[in-house]
Amino acid sequence: MPDVFVSPDRQTHKGTPSPQKNLTEEGTKKLFSSFNLYPSGIDFETREDKEKIILMLRQHPVVNVKWIFTTLLLLTGPTFLSIFGIFSLLPEGFSLVITLAWYLVTSAYAIEGFLNWYFNVYFVTTEEIIDVDFFNLLGKRVSVADLDKIQDVSYSTHGVLGTVLNFGDVQIQTAAEITEFRFESVPSPERVAKFLDDLIDKY
């Protein structure tokens, strides 16, 4: 008679690789990946020599749609200005300078959008979890909590997009100075939560 239900514990022992087992795996290097397991060639300034990066996360690429769409819209601005005859009202030379300045500001907007996505990352290492935030141009906040301080891990997905594209938030309760970590809009949040649960058990 086929099994109607198999206990999750038995399933775990059967097929799920443990983080400890995979520590010897060769890392992958994906420049623009949002979910990077055992990444190679990645480092952060406070990492200790014996500390290994197990998981590197950033927000799902779909969060970039807003600034990409806005950038494409802004790129058409000078075209509309010339169509509506705004440039013909100005003295010679002004139209060129305004167009150049427009593209300059648009490029800055796009660069900032990309940098904010690319460099705001979350790390899970063999010793701690790290949340790196850059804000207000020159502001930086690095939040760290040891793995043994993690008390609870939960995850959530929101809306149609989150469900279809499988991204959401992972909330981590800790006994550290920062009591809650939130990995926002990360891919496969259930996988991240399970990964952290396994790590907590191991370490």
The verdict on 29 binding another protein (CB under 8 A) reads yes
Token match 């959401």: residue?
A: 168
Nearest of 171, 151, 203, 188 to residue 18 by alpha carbon: 203
Q: How far is the CB of 133 from another protein (least distance, A)?
A: 10
For every residue of 121-165, DSSP letters joined together read EEEEESSEEEEEEEETTTEEEEEEEEGGGEEEEEEE--HHHHHHH
- Interactions with another protein, residue window 88-127 (CB under 8 A): 91, 93-94, 96-97, 100-101, 104-105, 107-108, 111-112, 115, 118-119, 121
Element (H, E) at 36: strand 35-37
**Residue 99 or 166 having the CB closest to another protein:** 99
HEC-encoded secondary structure of 159-174:
HHHHHHHCEEEEEEEE
- Interactions with another protein, residue window 124-153 (CB under 8 A): 132, 134, 137-138, 140, 142
- Residue 35 in tokens: 């979910």
- The one among 31, 85, 88, 177 contacting another protein by CB under 8 A: 31
Residues near another protein (CB under 8 A) are 29, 31, 41-45, 91, 93-94, 96-97, 100-101, 104-105, 107-108, 111-112, 115, 118-119, 121, 132, 134, 137-138, 140, 142
